Amino acid sequence: MSNSLIKKIVKPLLFIATLVAMFGAANLSSDSASASNRSYDSVLKTAKKHLGARYVWGATGPSRFDCSGFTKYVYKKSIKKSIPRTAQAQYNHTKHVTKSNIKKGDLVYFGGSKHSIYHVGMYIGNGKMIDSQNRGVVVEKVYAPWWHVVGFSRPANLSY
């Protein structure tokens, strides 16, 4: 093969390979960036959309929820993240975080202990959460006199 023939074939192939690498990388990073940029906004929007929905024990939505049915529904519908069905299972199978590291979108658990969890809500900042309880889906303080906080978890890494 002559040198000129190699230059005619190899140069265009290298150019095409470079373009594919550049545009492929750009598409991957923009896809992941757009997915992460919408994550917390999407979770919060989905949760707020159901404010006022009735509480029904064992209900998983979309118009009636119990506490863990609500958090499961919100994560699945907003960011396609599947989490376990019950509050105790959600705590047991998600990444635990400390009170000082809690972020918006994390879950807050209530009960007698970390082994006896009976309620879960989603932290939305400023000491508040959205949860489904006897008054339905509401925004309320995490540290209300009727709740005993026993732990926190992060079902997904969200961007803000």
Quick check: helix, strand or coil at residue 4?
Answer: helix
Find the catalytic residue in 66, 67, 96, 115. 67
The full DSSP string for 27-69 is: HHHHHHHHHHHHHHHHHHHHHHHTTTPEE-TT-BSSSEE-HHH
Buried b (16+ CB within 10 A) or exposed e, 69-90: bbbbbbbebbbebebbebbbeb
- Active site includes 148? no
Instruction: Give the full edge-to-edge strand order of the sheet including 107-113.
Output: 95-97, 149-154, 107-113, 116-125, 128-133, 136-141
- Active site includes 67? yes
Rounded CA gap, 42 and 35, in Å? 10
Rounded CA gap, 144 and 147, in Å? 6
- Active site includes 119? yes
What tokens does 97 get?
């975080």
Catalytic positions, written as ranges? 67, 119, 131
